């Protein structure tokens, strides 16, 4: 399942095509749904044994497609309905992270009727939509003039927005696979932060794998990512994005339940560093999806 209606459609198409190619190399019969047709129409017109979800952003990562697949009795990869919904919603996920003792940047949320008021923290600040990935609609601002522009930019993508204190430090990402943290990746963008252009433009970011950190700090970053995955109730895999502050505190920014999945994306890079090649990784996620489906069906029968 690829493409879809979200702002991340183009990235989803690349992820889905890479997965389809890898699974065909493993001898599976693969149908690509969402490339040329609407997702639900494709679901209704095909006989599907198991769904590999490569839909990024809304509809793919917010629990909607998961609920639809469950209604149809189709096993699918990745997290379930509720974990997906919580992870994509930056406000809901941060409340859970805080309760679990994880560090998150100080933040304030604003609803549909709220107007730009005095900034809640000193500059610089970060503004972002509640429910978007790939840094879409995200801004780092240094002045009141930039603040209002950033507010309007975020509002173009969501009626609800989040304003947070900017945490200086080093960007890190940690992939989680089968309840284990994979090698930490240090992200060094050539722009001010890891924005959409830095994420998807070749040569705009350096990735250092494994991240050159003291062992104790390295483990601390992995443990924070794994805990974030677990407290949201994620299943099989995810990728947590963090900022490691100058005081070596890992601040959890978000958990991606369906991270980028081309062969050169960060999650597959981390898996490869752990000895798992891309086709093997794709097949493993299908097997885990089947295992969860069979266990749930058996439980319902008892």
Catalytic residue, from 60, 63, 133, 260: name it. Answer: 260
Catalytic residue, from 153, 241, 251, 265: name it. Answer: 241
| Backbone φ and ψ of 68, nearest 5° | -65, -45
70 is catalytic: no
241 is catalytic: yes
Contact 85, 63 (CB under 8 A): yes
260 is catalytic: yes
Catalytic residue, from 6, 79, 93, 256: name it. Answer: 256
149 is catalytic: no
Catalytic residue, from 15, 84, 134, 265: name it. Answer: 134
110 is catalytic: no
Among 136, 111, 112, residue whose Cα is nearest residue 58: 136
Contact 269, 134 (CB under 8 A): no
The burial class, CB within 10 Å (0-12 / 13-18 / 19+), for 269 is buried
Tokens standing for residue 32: 């690509």
Catalytic residue, from 239, 251, 265, 272: name it. Answer: 239
Catalytic residue, from 132, 195, 254, 265: name it. Answer: 254
Catalytic residue, from 70, 108, 166, 200: name it. Answer: 200
8 is catalytic: yes
Catalytic residue, from 3, 4, 6, 8: name it. Answer: 8
254 is catalytic: yes
Contact 255, 78 (CB under 8 A): no
Secondary structure class of 218 (helix, strand, coil)? helix
134 is catalytic: yes
Residues tagged active-site: 8, 134, 200, 239, 241, 254, 256, 260
């Amino acid at each position: 399942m690829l493409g879809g209606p979200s702002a991340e459609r183009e990235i989803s198409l690349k992820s889905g095509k890479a997965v389809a190619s890898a699974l065909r190399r493993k001898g599976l019969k693969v149908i690509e749904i969402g490339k040329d047709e609407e997702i639900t129409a494709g679901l209704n017109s095909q006989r599907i044994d198991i769904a590999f979800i490569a839909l990024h952003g809304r509809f793919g990562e917010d629990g909607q497609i998961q609920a639809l697949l469950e209604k149809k009795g189709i096993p699918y990869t990745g997290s379930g309905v509720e974990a997906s919904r919580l992870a994509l919603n930056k406000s809901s996920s941060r409340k859970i992270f805080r309760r679990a003792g994880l560090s998150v940047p100080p933040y304030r949320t604003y609803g549909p009727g709220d107007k730009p008021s005095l900034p809640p923290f000193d500059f610089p600040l970060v503004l972002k939509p509640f429910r978007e990935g790939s840094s879409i609609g995200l801004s780092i601002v240094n002045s009141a003039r930039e603040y209002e522009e950033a507010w309007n930019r975020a509002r173009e993508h969501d009626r609800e927005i989040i304003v947070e204190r900017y945490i200086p430090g080093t960007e890190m990402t940690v992939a989680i696979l089968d309840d284990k943290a994979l090698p930490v990746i240090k992200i060094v963008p050539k722009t001010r932060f890891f924005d959409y252009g830095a994420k998807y433009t070749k040569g705009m970011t350096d990735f250092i794998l494994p991240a050159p950190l003291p062992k104790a700090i390295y483990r601390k970053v992995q443990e924070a990512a794994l805990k974030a995955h677990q407290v949201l109730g994620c299943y099989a895999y995810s990728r947590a994005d963090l900022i490691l502050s100058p005081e070596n505190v890992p601040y959890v920014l978000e958990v991606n339940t369906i991270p980028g999945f081309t062969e050169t994306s960060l999650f597959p890079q981390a898996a490869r560093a752990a000895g798992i090649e891309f086709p093997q990784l794709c097949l493993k996620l299908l097997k885990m999806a089947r295992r969860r489906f069979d266990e749930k069906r058996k439980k319902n029968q008892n």
